[in-house]
Amino acid sequence: MKGTRDARLARINPTAAFLGALVVVLIGLFAPGVIGGAVLLALAGGMIYLMTRTWPVAAPQTRTIRVIMLGLLLLAALFKIL
């Protein structure tokens, strides 16, 4: 089962994934209050899932950037909720 999920993850078009994530971030940033924060938290959850799947093969610099981006996303979600 693990190999099947990894193969599906490898087939995702990077441009489509980026544009999809950008749309979700913009929705989260422009949606009011708690709704926007919940959207950003859902995106952060997806990002955490993807990070756990790709962590072993990511370069240390890439890991650092991903953790920083995750922190910024969580911070934005927190500000939206509060």
Q: What is the pLDDT along the chain (82 residues), one digit of tens a residue?
A: 555 666 677 788 889 988 999 999 999 999 999 999 999 999 999 999 989 988 888 899 999 999 999 999 999 999 999 8
- Any idea of the CA torsion for 4, 40, 48, 10, to the nearest 10 degrees? 30
Q: In whole angstroms, what is the distance from residue 77 CA to residue 71 CA?
A: 10
**Residue 31 main-chain phi, psi, to 5 deg:** -70, 150
**Whether pTM exceeds 0.85:** no
Q: Which amino acid is at 73?
A: L
66 burial via Cβ count (<10 Å: 0-12, 13-18, 19+):
middle
| Cβ(62)–Cβ(47) below 8 Å | no
